[in-house]
Structure 1
């Protein structure tokens, strides 16, 4: 154990003497600081605007005055997607999913004001976030820090000297891993402390109550990611004859894992599972609502069938004799049919999304970069499954709002009476303001089992590789 710490101390001293490594470390820390500061400014600004606009739209809904409930359902309201404090760390899909949505009767609108729409095509390469720095740039620092860990010892003859003194390959290997790990933790410590401070004092805990747990899990995931790349660099150096070979091998691995493979997987998933255009998607929904899912039951037929059903049920000859306003019942039935059609088409669309993401999850088994990227977004509440959960809850809220309006119309007005009947603020108050709570970390992680298996599997694999290589490495003679 004493030999291990001695080797670790020596490696830290050598690393501090390397100007390139120190410079890269400072650059990484500065980029993390800039990303944290800029991300927090953006988060604070957007959170304030969202809170103000949500309150403004709530007051508009309550202050719309007396009017017919169905007109109020078309008047509608807006819902805004709240920003999570962990989006400061990983923007995830927030740039692409939109920030607000308009809710009204008969229509399921898409989210508006996607930040990506205001960016140039360079947005495809990602925004500067802490996650991007840790995903992409930190492995480069690790490579330059550890590529010569063994090759330099071989070239200078110090490895032979250490082995002749009875120090084992395993002690040397893990001493180096420990040294580089400590160096990286020291570099990242200020940023990790900043993240915990933000998580502790976060005002967004009302809709992301387990923010502290998510922060801890993020730290664990990234520590494993660092360990994998660090151990891989040491292992390549152990197996390489020269530092040049080790550096080229590691850079090739970085290019393949971080740049080529993720882009290739994304392109293949889009090619194998193609999404329909927005225009085709909406046209298919409108056609099914107009002509029926089977293409043979248009609106008029459905309304006639509903009317006949209620006349027989209440044993009357005309809808005027029903003890409620049949128009309200008919409108709600049409709304529910439209919801059913929307659900059918939306399920097909989501199935395509899931198949695309499934390819990414399978690929993550062979690439720890993809695994960590997916887990990072999931724990930051900026992933696809969290976005879908939000969309589902917004749609449930819209349907309940419309249902209340149609039911009030049916119960409190007479058939043929439209502009004559007006509801008041008492009805508007029955529609509670929208609030959202993200699924817990453990609920979301259920969708990322392959990614968790990958990150743990890679950690075990690299440990086994190092131990096997240590046992098989022969003493150096001569």
Structure 2
């Protein structure tokens, strides 16, 4: 049987080699993949240079800001820039939508700025041409065009009956054809991912992205599984179809439905079932809780009065001037801590809605494998929602440390009522280390994306089940 499978595979490859139209499609896919990778690499290099330069300039500005009061320095603040990871040149993911920098200062947790999507216009709705997009949508389209008549043509010419009459099983013919088309996929995938790994070694980006070699291997595995399942499904449709026209129509409907309609529908469904509050409502709710308290009758004035009373009792003094600490710094830091508590509460509620929306999309992966592979691709490339959220949390932690350090220095080294009289200098600024970021370990993907892994595995399993076990064609 093995010999028959290899002979059928060889026959299929020779047949495809003689078809100029398939050669043209193959070349187009290779060119698109190469162009997308090259464009992604150029964008990656440019943004990495800009981010590195801007980060160094902002760091120098922070250290050279001169002598001033620590709270003024906290408002002077600094910028943090999101570094570009190497694998973003393969899959842009959400990088286009999430912003590239954030301003850190006291009292006001700012939003990320400079989202590239803002300058793209309406065409961005159709997505960006990335190498990942080519593998997710365009390569399956190539598979459709080279497989839709693989069995129907055999039926129309009578070759299939002749092969079966000579003792060749449908299973052997089927496996031979799938093997031939899988080899074509490997011909595209292996050099591509090998080149991607070599670029990663040359660029030495391990300081930003963790487990890069493992991530590339997992990306390769996910795409091979996805494309093999798509190839198997396409050959099976050709086997079950009465004509090449019906096979092509069925496969194109499947491609459009699972690659375009269902992903868009699932996104709209998630937004409808779990709507997000408007930016205005969200910010007003936070400000209300900061001023009036998260529990009834716990206003900002009452919290500060309790704080004052507690410190006077703790140190056994009658006035703030007698405290060994500057109560102004303590008061400012207490205000920051309470505001952090409020922000954390509202952010958790907001992120829960994002989680529910994402889960709705993940469930659709059991119907549309494109969704599963798209989400896993972004995750392994560290351009997904969870990777961005991790970066956001670390910048928030950095900001809080900066403000806390400034307020604590004010409390310890100045007197109550002093402000412009006390000035700190470079020695204090240097205690705030430069911001460094490393993406989460690849193991977090298995925690957050188990549903996508399950749905893709299920599709692969179903394709194994569909492999014919008899000589029947329908």
State the Cα RMSD in Å.
Answer: 1.2
- For structure 1, list consecutive stretches of 5 or more residues without a partner in the other structure: none
Residue 223 of structure 2: aligned partner: 222
**Greater shift after overlay, 14-23 or 190-199?**
190-199
Residue 473 of structure 1: aligned partner: 472
1:177-192 aligned at under 5 Å gives the runs 177-192=178-193
The yes-or-no answer on 1:256 pairing with 2:231 is: no
Where 1:108 maps in the other structure, the secondary structure is coil
Offset at 1:184?
A: 2.2
Offset at 1:167?
A: 1.0
1:120-131 aligned at under 5 Å gives the runs 120-131=121-132
The count of residues paired between Structure 1 and Structure 2 equals: 473
Where 2:437 maps in the other structure, the secondary structure is coil
Contact 1:288 1:295 in 2 (8 A): no
Offset at 1:169?
A: 1.1
Residue 169 of structure 1: aligned partner: 170
What is the alpha-carbon distance in structure 2 between the residues aligned to residue 379 and residue 188 of structure 1? 16
Offset at 1:474?
A: 6.2
The yes-or-no answer on 1:139 pairing with 2:140 is: yes
Contact 1:8 1:176 in 2 (8 A): yes
Contact 1:262 1:370 in 2 (8 A): yes
Residue 160 of structure 1: aligned partner: 161
Where 2:418 maps in the other structure, the secondary structure is coil
Offset at 1:194?
A: 2.1
What is the alpha-carbon distance in structure 2 between the residues aligned to residue 105 and residue 143 of structure 1? 57
1:57-90 per-position Cα deviation (integer Å, ceiling 9, x unaligned): 0000000001000000000000000000000000
Residue 464 of structure 2: aligned partner: 463
Residue 27 of structure 1: aligned partner: 28
Where 2:420 maps in the other structure, the secondary structure is coil
What is the alpha-carbon distance in structure 2 between the residues aligned to residue 158 and residue 279 of structure 1? 68
What is the alpha-carbon distance in structure 2 between the residues aligned to residue 98 and residue 453 of structure 1? 31
Residue 329 of structure 1: aligned partner: 330
1:310-354 per-position Cα deviation (integer Å, ceiling 9, x unaligned): 111111101111111011111000000000000011111101100
Offset at 1:160?
A: 1.1
1:152-173 per-position Cα deviation (integer Å, ceiling 9, x unaligned): 1111111111111211111111
Structure 1 pair 29/474, CA: closer, same or farther in 2 (3 Å)? closer
What is the alpha-carbon distance in structure 2 between the residues aligned to residue 21 and residue 453 of structure 1? 33
Contact 1:378 1:445 in 2 (8 A): no
What is the alpha-carbon distance in structure 2 between the residues aligned to residue 346 and residue 419 of structure 1? 35
Offset at 1:2?
A: 1.3
Q: TM-score, normalised by structure 2?
A: 0.98
Residue 75 of structure 2: aligned partner: 74
Contact 1:25 1:187 in 2 (8 A): no
The yes-or-no answer on 1:199 pairing with 2:203 is: no
What is the alpha-carbon distance in structure 2 between the residues aligned to residue 180 and residue 193 of structure 1? 20
Residue 91 of structure 2: aligned partner: 90
What is the alpha-carbon distance in structure 2 between the residues aligned to residue 171 and residue 263 of structure 1? 39
The yes-or-no answer on 1:447 pairing with 2:448 is: yes
Q: TM-score, normalised by structure 1?
A: 0.97
**Greater shift after overlay, 333-342 or 120-129?**
120-129
Residue 287 of structure 1: aligned partner: 288
What is the alpha-carbon distance in structure 2 between the residues aligned to residue 70 and residue 246 of structure 1? 70
Residue 297 of structure 1: aligned partner: 298
Offset at 1:472?
A: 6.3
The yes-or-no answer on 1:110 pairing with 2:142 is: no
Contact 1:29 1:188 in 2 (8 A): no
What is the alpha-carbon distance in structure 1 between the residues aligned to residue 461 and residue 473 of structure 2? 24
Offset at 1:295?
A: 5.1
Contact 2:100 2:112 in 1 (8 A): yes
Residue 268 of structure 1: aligned partner: 269
